[in-house]
Structure formats: structure tokens, C-alpha cells
Structure 1
Amino acid sequence: MSQITDTILMIRPVAFRMNEETAVNNFFQEDLDIKNAEINKKAQAEFDAFVEKLQGVGVHVIVEHDDLEMDTPDSIFPNNWVSFHKDGTIAMYPMFAENRRKERREEVITRLENEGFVIGNFMDYTAAEAEGFFMEGTGSLLLDRVHNKVYCAISPRADEELVIEFCEDFECDPVIFTANQTVNGQRLPIYHTNVMMALAENFAVICLDTIDDKHEKKTVVKHLKESKKEIITITEEQMHQFAGNMLQVKGKNHKYMVMSEAARSSLRPDQVKAIQKHCKILSSDLTTIETCGGGSARCMMAEVFLPKKDL
């Protein structure tokens, strides 16, 4: 079983802007004082350049286009509504923002079937939305696929009972904790686990300073060490530059830790060295997407682990 894949799904935006429905608890979002059409144009240019870089090193990127009629400003972050698993299972997730629920489109699943992937089973958690409970895919759930563990920071977008249900369904051990950031002098929950933590094959990048509870912090560290992960810590300041929002992928000849230019620039030389001991770094400028969307490189990539049809 592999922790990383060479195939990712990405959604090219057509109506990208700052999503007013997610801004209530995504404290990474900021308003850019330019027109939405201009924001979308800039986001498309960043998206295209990012895809080109990934494809340039041999990552298989399946690009699906968003539907303009849907008015889905956050569709560029598909990993929140869907995940694709090695046994052919597709999981669909309950989303906090109502306008993000429209991102779940059958065309995306059909596209993967047309690409030759085998889909065997659906795990649909979306009914929880009606009850007001959410669990936003691999934004909320960091999957250690090799050691069958799920790391999750509980927040308004990650309900503990749903996380436990997911772990039972996928036969994983939950590692549940709370991660906070300082907002106007208050410690408030970080909206997604994957902005404070990234899990690679042999290492983890994590902002331990966000885990205020000492016991929870010890537990997370214990689990990472048990799984033989080198722990590379980042500061809260670096986290705000999206240094926790990274994803390791396989290229043609090398493995890459993929991140934004802002994240890459925020890293100290010793942190860069620690990552490069394990793999190369690939970074791309995602300034508009990060500023308005409050998400970065990792959020834009939905990993595809589905089996391929035998030709």
C-alpha cells in the first residue's frame, strides 16, 4: 500500500472569488479589492501554471472544468467533497457551506470512469448536512494510508462522531485533537486539519504550536513517531503562509512535496533541507487563490488511488 499517488484530480475554476459562506470560520481568507471577474482570471492563470508544473515532472493531472451555472466559488478545492480509495471506493462528504454542496457533480465521477478507473463502491456521508454536521474530506481527514490512521483536528467543519464513523467504515484508528489559531486575540479552531499538518511517506510537516492541549499534542507526536515519520515543525506564522498545506506526489522520476510559492518562501533553510532529504520540492505561485480562497496547493489536489481497468 502506498501513501502517495502519481494521479490527481483538479478542477479549473470558472467563478472563483472569495466565498462569503466560508469566510465565517476560514480565517485565512482575505478580501481583495478587485472585481470578481478579475479575481477569477488571475486564479485561472495560477491554476494553469500550477497544472503545467505538475505535468512537467510527470504527475498525471486530470483537469475537469467547473460549471459556470453552478456558481461554485470554491470548486477549485475538490479534495473537500470527494476522496478516491485503492479498493475502488469513492467517499462523498458533508460540506459546511451550502454553496459548496453543488460542487459534488456526477460528471466528475463519470470523467474518472472514462479515464479507465474502476469504481466499486460509494460511501456517502452527505446526509449529515441536514443535521448540521460536517466532515470536509481530506481537508478535515489526514489519511495515513499505510498505517491505517486518520489525523483530524475537530472544528465546525469536522464533527468528531462523523470522523469516528469514517474510521469504522475504513478500518482506521482515529487520532483526534483540537488545533487553534489566534484571531483578534482569541484562540479559535483552525477550519481544516490540512492547513496545519501535511503527511508524507516518511515525514510529517506540522504546526504543533496550534495544539494547545499538552496531552493531545503528545498523542499526535506519539502516533507520528510510531509510524516512523520524521517530524518537521513549522511556526504559526509559517502556517499562515500555507506551509502546512502541502502534498507529496509521485512524478515520473522523483517524488515531490508540492506547495505554494508563499509556503516555500516561508520555510527556513533547515526545514527545506529536512524535506529535501526525502523528496524534491515543487512550488507554484498561488497568491490569488490563497488570499481569496483561504486554501492552497494541497486543497487543490484530490488524490486518485482508484484501481485501473485491465486493458
Structure 2
Amino acid sequence: MLNRPAQAPSAVVMIRPHHFCSNPQTMPDNAYQTDHAASPGNSNTAEQAIAAQAYQEVSHVAQQLTAHGVKVHLFEDESTSTPDSVFPNNWFSTHADGQLLVYPMYAPNRRLEYRADIIEFLQREYQVQAVHNYAYLAEQGLFVEGTGSLVIDHVHQLAYAVLSKRTDAALVPEICQQLKLTPVLFQAFDEQGLAVYHTNVMMCVASRFVLISLEMVPDTQRAVLLKHFAQSGQQVIDLTPSQIRHFCGNALELTGSKGSLLALSQAAYQALSTQQITQISQFTTLLPLAVPTIESAGGSVRCMLAGIHLQPRSETTA
């Protein structure tokens, strides 16, 4: 019998890129992304330096998580055609009932991130009961980008989803039905009125609290979110749009050797107020991780971590 699903996984998949760069195909709808090519003095040498920095940042995050008792499955990406491979949480997700889902990606070059070797590894090491592949729907213009699009409350079986080019209103309910989740669809906009490209940029659901910028949600939809948070018994820690721009919402609760951890970037940690840090510290230990180069691609620590909610094969019961 499966245990009640935990919100905070104790294992993650990470991808270490060898040729990282800011993806030009995602630039049009990702307001948090920096165009390296537009930087003065850009050259092959500068590009190599950026790639090397990203490689080191991923290595450091993996080392820090491991030191705190989180199991890290680290895969290498030596391809030059997958600039966003460092963000594996977008193309697959895993679930405590043994399901593994593969998702349809908006940018054509992001569809190249799908890796059979990672799926096969998870099937060998964990109790995967079924693989559901939705990737083909990208050819039909339907997109949901994993736990970038769906911020899942595994305990209360809810999936929060901001509608955007990357999160289709018709496809979200279908995927949620497969996962036995209740979809909570809403809109969110930045200071310029642009739709937030991924839900996990502007909110994080942890076991006992939620990080979210309520200001970015239209008044008419805010009450529904607050009702769900109240029913789930989660304390709301409200973030400003500026803090979202510093990736304060792009965090992930994990389970380490000493209990709950909140993995977030150093930039996000520095953008939090003292009061917010005190609030969060009531529930978890904050683990700031320096990833400034990775963040130039428009994602942060949470995007780098594909949580493993599956049971290890070594824990099979007789």
C-alpha cells in the first residue's frame, strides 16, 4: 500500500549542461531571461565562459544537495542543440502512485531534451508503474510544460496552473485527470502586463506554506487561490513582483537528512525580507544556492530540480 504522497521529495534528477546558453527560442515569452548575444563584447570566448560557469553552478548545487542528504541523480548533457536542458522539470514528472509523465514542450529545441536513458534509469531504480507520453501533442499546438506549468500540491491533490502559451487550458484538465489531481487554473501577469510564462516562477507550494505573488493575480481570481490555501492549512507568504523577478517564487521543498529544506537561489534569498525569512524558517531550513548564470536563462533552482516522488525498487514489499 502506498503511503500518503509527500510534498517534499528526497531525490531529484539534475542535468549538467556542457554548452549552456540563454535559449533564443524561449526569449519572446520569458520576461525573466537575459539575451547573452546582445551583450557588448560577446564572443566565442565569452560563450565558453558562460557555459563553464553554468557547468560549475550545477556541480555546486548537486554537491550542496548531496551534503544535505538529498539524493541527486546527475546526468550529463554534451549536446549543443539543447540550451535549456538544465531545466528537466519541464519535460517529465513523477508521482507517488508510480506514474511518470512526459510533456509537450512549446519551443521546438526544448523537445530535443527528452531522454530515453533517464526514463529507463528511473524504471530500473524506482517503482514506475506506467509511463504516459504526451509529447506528441506539441505537433498539435498543445503544451503543458511539466512542473513548470503545474505547481502540484501532492498532499491535497491540487495542480495550480497559470495559463500561458506554454500551459494550455484544454490540456491541463486532461493531464490532471490522469494524475487524479484537481486543476486550479488562473492567470498571472508581470508589471508590464505580460502573462507569466511558467507557474513555478511566481509560486511555490510547500507542505505547510505557499510562496506566491498575489499582486500578479487578477482580483477576481485571487479569492479562489486563498480559499484553497486556507483549506489546505498553508500559510501564505506574499511576494512582490520584484521578488518574483529575483526568483523568490522559484523554490522547491525537499527532504534532507535533517528534515525539510527549501532549495532556492542566493539571489532569491537576498531578495526576501527579514520577516519573510523568519516566517519561512518556522517551517523549513532555507538552502540558498548561487546560480546567477543559470538564472540568465529565465529559470532558477526549482526549474533545475525534477523531483522524484516514486518509491525506490529497493523498498518493494513482499
Query: TM-score normalised to the size of structure 2?
Result: 0.93
Tell me how far 1:50 sits from its aligned partner. Answer: 1.1
Gaps of 5+ in 2: none
The question of whether the paired residues in 1 share the 8 Å contact of 2:24 and 2:35 is answered with no
Q: 2 CA distance for matches of 1:143 and 1:217?
A: 18
Per-residue deviation at 1:9?
0.4
Give 1:211 shift: 0.5
1:290, CA displacement in angstroms? 0.3
Conservation of the 8 A alpha-carbon contact between 2:191 and 2:241: no
| Native 8 Å contact 2:11 2:71 kept in 1 | yes
Q: Which residue is equivalent to 1:113?
A: 123
Q: Pairwise mapping of residues 221-300 of structure 1 onto structure 2 (< 5 A)?
A: 221-291=226-296, 293-300=297-304
State the Cα deviation string for residues 34-84 of structure 1 (Å, max 9, x = none).
43221110101111111111111111011011142x620000000000001
Aligned twin of 2:309: 305
Q: Percentage identity across aligned positions?
A: 36
Secondary structure class of the residue paired with 1:181: coil
Deviations along 1:253-301, one digit per CA (max 9) or x if unpaired, are: 121111000000000000000100001000111101101x100000000
| SS of corresponding position for 2:191 | strand
Partner letter of residue 303 of structure 1?
A: G
1:71 aligns with 2:81: yes
| Separation of aligned partners in 2, 1:151 and 1:258 | 20
Equivalent residue, structure 2, for 1:17: 21
- Structure 2 residue identity aligned to 1:24: P
- Counterpart in 2 of 1:165? 174
Amino acid at match of 1:177: F
Rounded Cα–Cα distance in structure 1 between residues aligned with 2:229 and 2:26: 30
Aligned counterpart, 1:96: 106
Letter of the 1:243 counterpart: C
SS of the residue corresponding to residue 111 of structure 2 reads: helix
Counterpart of 1:207 (choices 166, 189, 213) is: 213
After TM superposition, the runs of 4+ consecutive aligned structure 1 residues lying more than 3 A away are: none
Aligned-partner Cα distance in 2 for 1:15–1:73: 7
1:87 aligns with 2:97: yes
Give the residue type in structure 2 aligned to 1:51. A
Q: State the superposition RMSD in angstroms.
A: 1.1
Which one-letter code corresponds to 1:95 in the other structure? M
Q: 2:265 is matched by which residue type in structure 1?
A: S
- Bigger shift: residues 198-207 or 104-113: 104-113
| SS of equivalent to 2:65 | helix
User: Who is 1:62 aligned against?
Assistant: 73
Query: Offset at 1:178?
Result: 0.3
Q: Which residue of 1 aligns with 2:161?
A: 152
Deviation at 1:31, TM superposition (A): 2.1
2:61 corresponding residue in structure 1: 50
Q: Which runs of 5+ in 1 are unaligned?
A: none
What do residues 89-115 of structure 1 show as CA deviations (whole Å, max 9, x unaligned)?
Answer: 11000000000001001011122234x
Amino acid at match of 2:233: K
Alpha-carbon distance in 1 for matches of 2:314, 2:76: 27
Q: Which amino acid aligns with 2:190?
A: Q
Instruction: Report the Cα distance in structure 2 between the residues aligned to 1:266 and 1:310, rounded to whole angstroms.
Output: 41
Check conservation: 2:100, 2:130, Cα contact below 8 A. Answer: yes
CA distance in 2, matches of 1:52, 1:307: 23
Amino acid across the alignment from 2:82: T
Count of aligned pairs between the two proteins: 304
Q: TM-score, normalised by structure 1?
A: 0.95
